[in-house]
A = this chain, B = another copy of it.
Amino acid sequence: MDIDLELIKSISITSPSRIVLLVLDGLGGLTDPETGKSELETAVTPNLDALTSKGICGLIDPVAPGITPGSAPGHLALFGYNPVTYNIGRGILEATGIDFDLRPGDVAARGNFCTVDKMGMVIDRRAGRIPTEKSTELCKLLDNMAFDDVKMMVRPVREHRFVVVFRGDKLAPEVNDSDPQQLGIPPKAINTITPKAAKLATAANKFVAQAWKLLAKHHPANMILLRGFSQRPAWPTMEEVYKLKPAAIASYPMYRGLARLVGMKCLDTGSTFEEEIATLKQHYDGYDFFFIHVKKTDAAGEDGDFAGKVEAIEQIDSALPGLTGLNPDVLVVTGDHSTPALLKGHSWHPVPILLCARWCRPDRVRKFGETDCATGGLGRFPATQVMPLAMAHALKLTKFGA
Chain A contact residues, CB within 8 Å of chain B: 3-4, 7, 11, 30-31, 36, 38, 59, 63-73, 83-84, 87-90, 93, 228, 342-343, 346-349, 359, 361-364, 370-371, 374-381, 385, 387-393, 397-402
Contact = CB atoms under 8 A, between A and B. Distances in A.
A389 B7 contact: no
A59 B402 contact: no
B359 A389 contact: no
B399 A346 contact: yes
10 contacts: A3-B84, A65-B392, A66-B390, A70-B400, A70-B402, A71-B402, A72-B402, A343-B359, A347-B392, A371-B377
B379 A67 contact: no
A59 B56 CA distance: 14
Contacts of A68: 392, 397-400
Query: Most chain-B CB neighbours within 10 Å: which of A89, A390, A400?
Result: A400
A314 to B, nearest CB: 21
A307 B402 CA distance: 27
Contact of A392 (B228, B348, B385): B348
Contact of A401 (B30, B83, B371, B374): B83
A236 to B, nearest CB: 18
A374 B377 contact: yes
Nearest to A70: B401
B385 A66 contact: yes
A377 B65 CA distance: 12
A64 B388 contact: yes
Contacts of A88: 401-402
A177 to B, nearest CB: 12
A336 to B, nearest CB: 11
What does DSSP make chain A's interface, helix, strand, loop or mixed?
loop
Contacts of A361: 30-31, 38, 349, 370
Contacts of A388: 64-67
Contact of A371 (B346, B363, B379): B363
A134 B300 CA distance: 70
Contact of A400 (B67, B397, B398): B67
A126 to B, nearest CB: 17
B67 A397 contact: yes
Contacts of A73: 400-401
A66 B389 contact: yes
Nearest to A74: B401
Contacts of A347: 359, 392
A402 B228 contact: yes
Contacts of A359: 30, 342-343, 347
Nearest to A391: B66
A326 B378 CA distance: 35
A345 to B, nearest CB: 8
A21 B15 CA distance: 38
A93 B401 CA distance: 11
Given A370-B361, A374-B377, A392-B66, A402 B31 contact: no
A402 B93 contact: yes
A397 B3 contact: no
Contact of A90 (B379, B393, B398, B402): B402
Given A64-B385, A71-B402, 12 more contacts: A31-B362, A64-B388, A65-B378, A65-B385, A66-B388, A66-B397, A69-B400, A70-B402, A72-B402, A73-B400, A83-B400, A348-B397
